[in-house]
């Protein structure tokens, strides 16, 4: 690997009240021939998920002259709630389509930022989830915007923002229907957009992480009617390929298998008619004693015939996942020099820092992949898979375990505290199974790579990916069985909280900021009715908990609101199951960062990087820290966790935001040298877009804050002086 020392550059700093930044740029052609290369008509630029633009008006020589062209404020931000916007806006024919923190979809004049229309799918009610983009579709006389919000897929007239009445039921389709479960008892959303192939919208889903989460089957919807045209079972049914990789096989056991969903988005080879779908882990994420086997198609890249949903090929990147190592981002469709010839390939970045590269047609790896042995679980009922696939190349873009030399050197006290804690944990490198005493998870559930994915430059063969390098601790314990009937409602609530909520919010209600908020002070922020509504309907990243009874919900409320007095008497609910016996293994420290006593990561920097991987050779061309902690800035670049991905342009630039230092940056795509940066009013945790309007190139990023930064809710355009 080449090391890179950033060249000193004179950076012109801009401090603008900006929530989304737009720089002029052109995207590759979208779904239909009528879409111009001046547009950004598809999530991540094109069906190949390249995040590449052919525009070059903004380039290495003039990028330091960028200025704000316009700013659009949505008006959604609230101090007491999340406001993060993860939307990669689309631009088609001088109209920008975006979404607000509360999932209102809007259209703007892309040159001025003036609002053209707005649609609220919740009609003023509570919004739920994230929207990483919308889908644009057109034919000769029809233009539509398709998106998901809550448990529904919507179709709007792209010109007016009005519902298409003959799509589904009055303009929407229920995503809970058709998964082999009672639609009233499951919660299905879609945080990433589907992808269009002819008149089919191929969709994945976000289904939750609990034991009773539904399966994440892939469905193709007719773009005109909303009817399901085909379904691919990501958890194979009896008799289907892959069913033998799960213990059991009866219909009863199928009802207890969930997850294996595509929450990350997907990519499409239009010429070959093949869609490439990265899948997540089976539930429960951190324990698999109830799902022995490899668990296909969990953690697999699956290639399907886009017309029919028929299986073409797959590759499983993690067997029997116990680490929440979902495939986190759409794969990049690339063309690489291999054995002296050009090969159309697909490159998949991962949370583990591996990049898997396959022949696009056959699924044959372009670089060797070795099955290597890894440690076994200490939990008697767990059966870890003995080996895991490790690519020989490309070389990993994050550290592969927490080594002695990785212990923080920020101060002697911090070093000693981390060293002491490390000695109490199970730490045998990558793929060490979760353990009752605590296991170091590094790379962690945050990556490596995450949902922003990678950008690909077709001219150099470089793949650009931002990566996180902060460890976590996983502690899997068996939560006690159903409390005895003489226990109070408060005590029962504690048990049900541990079973259903502790994985994210922690066994002590402390949360895992900035992603999972603490609940210790929930009574000061929300009413009981509001919390019940969130449990029933979900909110932000939290799915709806439709599979637990009303009695359990009321018990959880009693626990959260510390009601030890007037509600001591055990509840009896006629006509429902009430409190069921649900003893189960739970990761009681899931997503918990391993930090030093002052709250900094337990490892040495960098804690976040931007990497350029040469896909022709499998070597890392350059790597730099991405972002810096404001408290430690005087000591040099630390790198920071990031959310959202990069884009690369023919102007020789890589644009990226996504860090809590509120910066938006442009780097030299060849060397990694920083050429320009500006300070946003808050964090811009989204992938930018670039387009051309009236001869002027823009770059836009949504800035909603959250993740440790103040709330906001705007989109802002940057361009060269007019």
Other CB atoms within 10 A of residue 617 CB? 15
Residues 579-604 have a mean pLDDT of 86
Are 38 and 691 spatial neighbours (Cβ–Cβ below 8 Å)? yes
Residues 425-431 have a mean pLDDT of 98
Predicted confidence (pLDDT) per residue in 265-294, tens digit: 999 999 999 999 999 999 999 999 999 999
- Closest to 130 in 3D by CA, of 164, 94, 98, 161: 98
In this predicted structure, the answer to whether residue 26 has a pLDDT above a threshold of 50 is no
Report how far residue 548's alpha carbon sits from residue 1's, in angstroms, rounded to the nearest whole number: 51
Q: Could you give the C-alpha distances from 10 to 23, 80, 610, in angstroms and in order?
A: 20, 39, 20
597 CB-near residues (< 8 Å, 6+ apart): 413, 414, 417
For the chain, domains (ranges, CATH) are 52-398+447-469+603-719 (2.140.10.10), 482-570 (1.10.760.10)
Predicted confidence (pLDDT) per residue in 304-348, tens digit: 999 999 999 999 999 999 999 999 999 999 999 999 999 999 999
Res. 35 pLDDT band, cuts 50 70 90: low
CA atoms within 13 A on the CB side of 350: 31
Res. 460 pLDDT band, cuts 50 70 90: very high
What does the pLDDT read at residue 544?
A: 66
- Specify whether the backbone of 94 is left (phi greater than 0), alpha (psi in -120 to 50) or beta: left
Question: Which has the higher per-residue pLDDT, 336 or 560?
Answer: 336
Other CB atoms within 10 A of residue 562 CB? 12
In this predicted structure, the answer to whether residue 583 has a pLDDT above a threshold of 90 is no
Are 205 and 278 spatial neighbours (Cβ–Cβ below 8 Å)? no
Are 273 and 306 spatial neighbours (Cβ–Cβ below 8 Å)? yes
Predicted confidence (pLDDT) per residue in 360-407, tens digit: 999 999 999 999 999 999 999 999 999 999 999 999 999 999 999 999
Beta bridge partners of 391: 369
Predicted confidence (pLDDT) per residue in 598-620, tens digit: 999 999 999 999 999 999 999 99
Q: Where is average pLDDT lowest: 127-131, 260-264, 537-541, 582-586?
A: 537-541
Q: What is the pTM of this model?
A: 0.88
Res. 23 pLDDT band, cuts 50 70 90: very low
**In the 8-state DSSP scheme, what is residue 6?**
P
Average pLDDT, the chain: 89
- Closest to 158 in 3D by CA, of 110, 119, 194, 195: 119
- Edge-first strand listing for the sheet containing 332-338: 332-338, 341-349, 355-359
Burial bucket for residue 423 (CB in 10 Å: 0-12, 13-18, 19+): exposed
First to last CA, the chain: 42
């Amino acid at each position: 690997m080449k090391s890179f020392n950033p060249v000193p550059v004179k950076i012109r700093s801009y401090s603008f009240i900006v929530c989304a930044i737009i720089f002029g740029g052109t995207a590759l052609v979208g779904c239909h021939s009528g879409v111009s290369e001046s547009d950004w008509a598809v999530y991540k630029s094109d069906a190949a998920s390249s995040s590449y633009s052919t525009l070059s008006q903004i380039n290495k020589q003039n990028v330091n002259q960028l200025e704000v062209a316009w700013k659009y404020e949505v008006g959604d931000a609230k101090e007491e709630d999340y406001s993060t916007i993860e939307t990669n806006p689309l631009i088609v024919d001088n109209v920008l389509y975006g979404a607000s923190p509360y999932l209102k979809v809007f259209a703007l004049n892309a040159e001025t930022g003036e609002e053209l229309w707005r649609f609220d799918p919740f009609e003023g009610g509570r919004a739920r989830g994230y929207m990483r983009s919308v889908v644009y579709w057109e034919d000769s006389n029809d233009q539509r915007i398709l998106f998901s919000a809550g448990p529904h897929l919507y179709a709007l007239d792209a010109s007016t923002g009005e519902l298409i009445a003959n799509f589904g039921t009055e303009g929407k389709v229920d995503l809970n229907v058709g998964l082999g479960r009672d639609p009233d008892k499951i919660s299905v959303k879609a945080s990433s957009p589907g992808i269009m192939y002819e008149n089919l919208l191929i969709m994945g889903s976000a289904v939750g992480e609990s034991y009773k989460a539904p399966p994440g089957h892939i469905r193709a919807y007719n773009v005109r009617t909303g009817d399901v045209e085909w379904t691919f079972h990501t958890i194979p049914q009896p008799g289907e390929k892959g069913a033998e990789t799960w213990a059991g096989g009866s219909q009863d056991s199928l009802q207890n298998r969930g997850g294996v969903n595509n929450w990350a988005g997907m990519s499409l080879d239009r010429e070959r008619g093949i869609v490439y779908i990265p899948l997540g882990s089976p539930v429960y994420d951190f324990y698999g004693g109830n799902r022995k086997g490899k668990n296909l198609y969990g953690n697999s890249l699956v290639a399907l015939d886009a017309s029919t949903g028929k299986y073409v090929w797959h590759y499983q990147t993690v067997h029997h996942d116990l680490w929440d190592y979902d495939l986190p981002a759409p794969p990049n469709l690339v063309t690489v020099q291999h054995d002296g010839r050009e090969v159309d390939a697909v490159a998949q970045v991962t949370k583990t820092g591996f990049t898997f590269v396959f022949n696009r047609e056959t699924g044959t790896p372009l670089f060797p992949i070795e099955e290597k042995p890894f440690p076994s679980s200490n939990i008697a009922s767990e059966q870890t898979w003995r080996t895991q696939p490790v690519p020989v190349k490309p070389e990993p873009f994050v550290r592969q375990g927490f080594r002695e030399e990785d212990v923080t050197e920020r101060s002697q006290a911090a070093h000693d505290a981390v060293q002491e804690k490390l000695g109490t944990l199970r730490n045998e490198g990558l793929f060490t199974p979760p353990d009752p005493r605590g296991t170091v998870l590094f790379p962690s559930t945050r990556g490596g790579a995450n949902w922003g994915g990678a950008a690909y430059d077709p001219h150099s063969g470089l793949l650009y990916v931002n990566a996180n390098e902060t460890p976590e601790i996983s502690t899997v314990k068996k939560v006690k069985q159903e409390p005895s009937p003489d226990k109070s409602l408060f005590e029962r609530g504690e048990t049900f909280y541990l079973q259903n909520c502790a994985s994210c919010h922690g066994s002590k209600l402390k949360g895992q900021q900035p992603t999972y908020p603490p609940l210790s002070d929930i009574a000061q922020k929300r009413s009981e009715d509001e919390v019940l509504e969130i449990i029933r309907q979900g909110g932000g990243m939290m799915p709806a908990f439709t599979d637990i009874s009303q009695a359990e919900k009321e018990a959880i409320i009693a626990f959260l609101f510390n009601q030890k007095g007037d509600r001591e008497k055990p509840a009896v609910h006629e006509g429902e199951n009430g409190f069921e016996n649900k003893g189960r293994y739970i990761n009681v420290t899931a997503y918990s960062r391993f930090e030093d006593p002052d709250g900094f990561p337990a490892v040495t920097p960098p804690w976040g990087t931007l990497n350029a991987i040469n896909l022709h050779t499998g070597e890392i061309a350059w790597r730099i820290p991405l972002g810096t902690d404001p408290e430690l800035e005087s000591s040099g670049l630390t790198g920071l966790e990031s959310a959202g991905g990069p884009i690369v342009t023919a102007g020789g630039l890589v644009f990226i935001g996504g860090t809590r230092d509120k910066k938006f940056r442009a780097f030299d795509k060849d060397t990694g040298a920083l050429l320009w940066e500006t300070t946003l009013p808050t964090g811009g945790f989204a992938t930018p877009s670039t387009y051309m309007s009236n001869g002027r190139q823009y770059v836009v990023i949504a800035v909603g804050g959250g993740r440790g930064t103040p709330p906001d809710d705007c989109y802002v355009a940057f361009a060269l002086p007019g």
